[in-house]
Amino acid sequence: MNHDGTIAVDASNGTFSVPVCRLNRAFRWSACCFAFPLFRVQSVLTLLLSVIVACLGCDAETHFEPNAALRATHRLTAEQEAFIDGVLTELFGTPSEPQLPEEITSLDLAALTQAAGPVISYEPGVTQGLFRRHCARCHGVTGDGKGPASYYQHPYPRDFRQGVFKWKSTYHEVPPTNSDLLSVIERGIPGTAMPSFQLLTPKERDMLRQYVIYLAMRGQLERELIWLVAEEFGPGETLPEDEALSIARELLQPIVKAWVEAPSAIVLPNEAALPPASTESIQLGYELYHSERSGCAKCHGEEGQGGGAPGDDYDDWNREQLREQLVVEEALGWHRLPITKAPARAITGTRLRGGDAPIDLFRRLHQGIAGTPMPAIGARRPGEESALTDEEVAALTDYVGSIMDVNAHHESNEKNAVKEPQISANEHY
Amino acid sequence: MFQIGLSLLLLSMATPTRAAGWGGLRGQIMVQGEVPERVTFDLGRDTCCLAAKPTDRSVLVGENGGLAGVIVYLKAKRGVEVPIDTLPPTDPVEISNTGCAFAPRITLLRAGQPLVLVNEDPTTHNVKATTRRNGTFNLVLPPGDRRPLRLARAERSPVTIACNVHPFMRGYLLVRDDPYAVVTGPDGRFELPHLPAGVWRFEFWHEKGELAGVKLAGGETDGRGRAELTIRADETLDLGELRVPADRFK
């Protein structure tokens, strides 16, 4: 590569140059293939070759965005940032060539490889680069929720890098299960820009599910490394590569463990706790909703109209951005999305985002919504104390469901069961 | 018998190395200049909060100019083992929701020591915290409720606790393996009477940011509010007055 950012290619007996695409956004790479100026080309064949080289060159420039805001807030030096980048690349590869550290056995590298990289097809019906084709415009190549279309959305696309997801069946602090993620990919999220991907094949959806987890784990490890450097290293300190990798692998283990063990932490009310809705249960739910025992009406309003809590509140993603914006505005640059507040939602006249079965609503009330101000009214962990009993949460579900027009209660016994994807992780893609 | 065995086990786990002696550390953190005016809260329509009139307590300066609410704690470098000769107390530490404020605002906890969230107000609160080593929680706390929690692992830094029903409420919690942490009092004074002798890194933390660039005898705190101090056996290192400019809190 030349100093002026061009690639010199010795083609046949002539030389030409193409500008290296410096854009790191997947949606732009294909456009840049047509944007380079023509220089002396000796034949149509050479021209075609140059297009291919330019396209490959563009993709070679696609990289994972650093978590610039968190790094700047913690005042990492350039050397420390390079240290973190090196560790992440060593363990997770690049957006076009993913790798899996040996700690992660729950994901399939073949699936990730097909989900990663530029969009291309070598045979009918088989698409490479599924994530960039279907997801990166909103979620970004890095999964940071800052894809080019994100600016115009409310709520913003999920930033996977905290490993926190809202619509799930598990306890508050536990990652979603595979079937939770598949369910969101298949169903979409009503009331948001997240569409249904039901037209993709189950295999393709599962590849995307795996790639989302891959990006989440990578992002979580990056955060851990940033905190490690900020809190345990001396000023400007870095580590030799082998020691750095060893520490990173240690930090990765609990992240992987939490994802793998998520199916063992699903909120499972027993049948007795979730009987069919009745006039009595709805009345009890009404009383609980308006009582100080639940506090629902304080935020969601006496009539479910929302906006009851005073002052400004934010979800975890915006709050972190807010804090970082105050500290290091310049570090965010164009990556910064305008901060949005998280007032308590109106629960009448709106659609349930995380599934409209009673069990979904029960879980929202029982565990709150991870990453948001919505608190858990059930136990933090199985067997621990709670604000309301499961039976009372069920009654509250009946009342809230009655004003939210939730599907008739209890069609969802099967949703109580632990569902895992039908595709074997070892199946060859 | 089992309890004795468990205690011995815990003691052995908590005593990685033997101290060469024990000393102490004390000082007083003083604010120089006028601190910014307190923020006025939007208390909404909650009669409990309207009656209690909680105020912004993020920067508390005593009559003598002392800065309250600074955590001074031993924060050893990576891989350095800190001698510990006491087990975590079995008495629970309480964080109370009182008058639409967390009391205390800043809580110190030993890893494994019982923690109880209490709501003494007649209104519903919730307590939300995202820790790095002890998971996250966001729990509804009805009036009169007492919710036991056990945070088993030490955190590297203080964790923010919040109530989303009343978003103006803020508290902070530091969970450590060792007992070498203290919060400055209303006069800005602090004392850690029992520290292992040696050269240790200490951090001076305030919720508005670490106290960086504070002059100490023989140097100043670094950009992260940390300084290496030598604790000598049978002596108490007196840092005297540590002066912090008020414009830091704007």
Write out the two tokens for A413: 């016994």
**Three-state secondary structure call for residue A414:** helix
CA distance A409 to A320: 38
Which residues in chain B touch residue A230, judged by CB atoms under 8 angstroms apart? 224
Which of A310, A385, A388 is facing B42, going by the closest CB pair? A310
**Confidence tier at B23 by pLDDT (50, 70, 90):** very high
CA-based nearest residue in chain A for residue B227: A234
Q: For residue B59, give Cα distances in angstroms to B35, B172, B174, B188.
A: 8, 13, 18, 12
Which of A173, A295, A316 is facing B140, going by the closest CB pair? A295
Q: What are phi and psi of A326, to 5 degrees?
A: -65, -35
Interface of B with A (CB under 8 A): 41-46, 75, 77-78, 122-128, 130, 132, 135-143, 145, 147-149, 156-157, 164-168, 222-224
Task: Please name the helix (run of DSSP H) or strand (run of DSSP E) that holds residue B205, with its range, or none.
Answer: strand B198-205
Residue A30 pLDDT > 50: no
CB atoms within 10 A of CB B6: 11
CB contact under 8 A, B137 and A173: yes
Burial profile B31-64: b = 16 or more Cβ within 10 angstroms, e = fewer: beeebeeeeebebbebebbeebebeebbbbbbee
CB contact under 8 A, A295 and B222: no
CB-defined contacts A:B, below 8 A: 101
Top pLDDT among A14 and B82 is at B82
Q: Is A295 on the interface with B (CB under 8 A)?
A: yes
Alpha helical stretches, state H, A93-201 = 109-115, 130-134, 136-139, 178-187
Task: Please name the helix (run of DSSP H) or strand (run of DSSP E) that holds residue A358, with its range, or none.
Answer: helix A358-367
Which of B139, B145, B167 is facing A376, going by the closest CB pair? B139
Q: Residue B5: its pLDDT value, please?
A: 43
- Alpha carbon of B55: minimum distance to chain A alpha carbons (Å): 14
Q: Which tens digit of pLDDT belongs to each residue from A143-197?
A: 999 999 998 898 999 999 999 999 999 999 999 999 999 999 999 999 999 999 9
Residue B218 pLDDT > 50: yes
**Three-state secondary structure call for residue A374:** coil
* Chain B interface disruption, residue of A231, A312, A345, A369, most B CBs within 10 A: A231
Per the document, the length of chain A is 429
SS3 content of chain B, % helix, strand, coil (to 5): 10, 40, 50
Closest-CA residue to A150 (of A324, A356, A321): A321
- Alpha carbon of A80: minimum distance to chain B alpha carbons (Å): 15
CA distance A202 to B125: 43
Task: Please name the helix (run of DSSP H) or strand (run of DSSP E) that holds residue A211, with its range, or none.
Answer: helix A202-232
Q: Residue B215: its pLDDT value, please?
A: 95
CA distance B53 to B36: 20
Which of B122, B124, B132 is facing A227, going by the closest CB pair? B132
CB contact under 8 A, A310 and B164: no
CA distance B27 to B72: 10
Q: What is the DSSP string of A149-168?
A: TGGG-SSPPP-GGG---SS-
Which of B45, B141, B157 is facing A387, going by the closest CB pair? B141
Residue A52 pLDDT > 70: no
Which of A292, A298, A388 is facing B143, going by the closest CB pair? A292
Q: What are phi and psi of A129, to 5 degrees?
A: 80, 40
Residue A229 pLDDT > 80: yes
Q: Which tens digit of pLDDT belongs to each residue from A245-267?
A: 999 999 999 999 999 999 999 99
Output the pTM of the full model. 0.86
CA distance A399 to A303: 12
Top pLDDT among A195 and B4 is at A195
Burial profile A170-192: b = 16 or more Cβ within 10 angstroms, e = fewer: bbbbbbbbbbbbbbbbebbbeee
Q: Residue A180: its pLDDT value, please?
A: 98
Which residues in chain B touch residue A311, judged by CB atoms under 8 angstroms apart? 41-42, 44, 167-168
SS3 content of chain A, % helix, strand, coil (to 5): 45, 5, 50
Q: Residue B85: its pLDDT value, please?
A: 94
Mean pLDDT for chain A overall: 82
Which residues in chain A touch residue B165, judged by CB atoms under 8 angstroms apart? 295, 298-299, 309
Closest-CA residue to B184 (of B71, B50, B42): B71
